[in-house]
Amino acid sequence: MPGEHIEFRLVAGFGNPGSEYANTRHNAGFWYVDQLANQLGVSFSSDKRFFSQIASAQINARKLLLVKPMNYMNNSGQGLAAVARFFKIESSQILVAHDELDIPPGHIRLKKAGGHGGHNGLRDSVAKLGDGDFWRLRIGIGHPGHKSAVSGYVLKRASADDQRLIDEAVELALRESMTILDGDINVATKALHSHKP
């Protein structure tokens, strides 16, 4: 709910590992969390226990984990849930950054809880965590127009114009990241949702 105060302990970015996927639309969550790590001055290292790359940062004297599940998008929940269980992190303290077909490039939305909306990374996370109570940073990539075209669309690069818009939205999210991580959801939501590309 806008207005409530959240203490986030884990930020996950979703994508597919490997250089062949690095610049594809489905990796928008990785783009955000990679840049967030850079902004916080921390770097990722692989942790096989959690099927993920993990970085640890300090935010206002509390520990914040950044997580990139490395099991491919369809199994993203395995790494996310493994980290959350080990560190005893509630779903409501998790923010997941992911690509969103239902939002145009250049737009970004912050949302609490819900279903998976057909996104396989979210679907697996809801299943593995046991609920959908985590927050989502939804990075708009646009829709190809027909359901049958979705799988090819998300695994391809965006056009130059769309990529510029997506990058601008990610930059906006990065500027608002401290507001989000400080738990000022109402302020962050207003800034993100009022943005006009």
Instruction: Find the largest Cα–Cα distance for the chain.
Output: 47
Q: What is the model's pLDDT at position 2?
A: 43
For 144-156, how does the pLDDT look when each residue is reduced to its tens digit (9 = 90+)? Answer: 988 888 888 999 9
Residues in the chain: 197
Written as tens digits, the pLDDT of the chain (197 aa) is 444 567 899 999 999 999 999 999 999 999 999 999 999 999 999 998 999 999 999 987 889 999 999 989 889 999 999 999 999 999 999 999 999 999 999 999 998 877 776 777 888 999 999 999 899 999 999 999 888 888 889 999 999 999 999 999 999 999 999 998 888 888 888 999 988 88
Q: Where are the domains of the chain?
A: 10-193
In order of 94, 138, 144, the CA distances from 72 in angstroms are 19, 18, 22
d(CA 51, CA 108): 28
d(CA 124, CA 109): 21
**If you classify domain 10-193 with CATH, what class do you get?**
alpha beta
Instruction: Tell me which residues are annotated as active site.
Output: 26
Residue 161's SS3 state is: helix
d(CA 185, CA 176): 10
For 150-179, how does the pLDDT look when each residue is reduced to its tens digit (9 = 90+)? Answer: 888 999 999 999 999 999 999 999 999 999
Q: How far, in whole angstroms, is CA 147 from its chain's centroid? A: 22
Neighbour-count burial for 168-186, b at 16+ CB within 10 Å, e otherwise: bbbebbeebbebbbbebbe
Which of 158, 186, 172 has its CA nearest to residue 27? 158
Q: Amino acid identity of 24? A: T
Helix axes 76-86, 120-129, angle to 10 degrees: 30
Which of 195, 172, 194, 189 has its CA nearest to residue 3? 189
d(CA 57, CA 41): 8
Global model pTM greater than 0.75:
yes
Contact 191, 179 (CB under 8 A): yes
Pair of tokens at residue 49: 């226990």
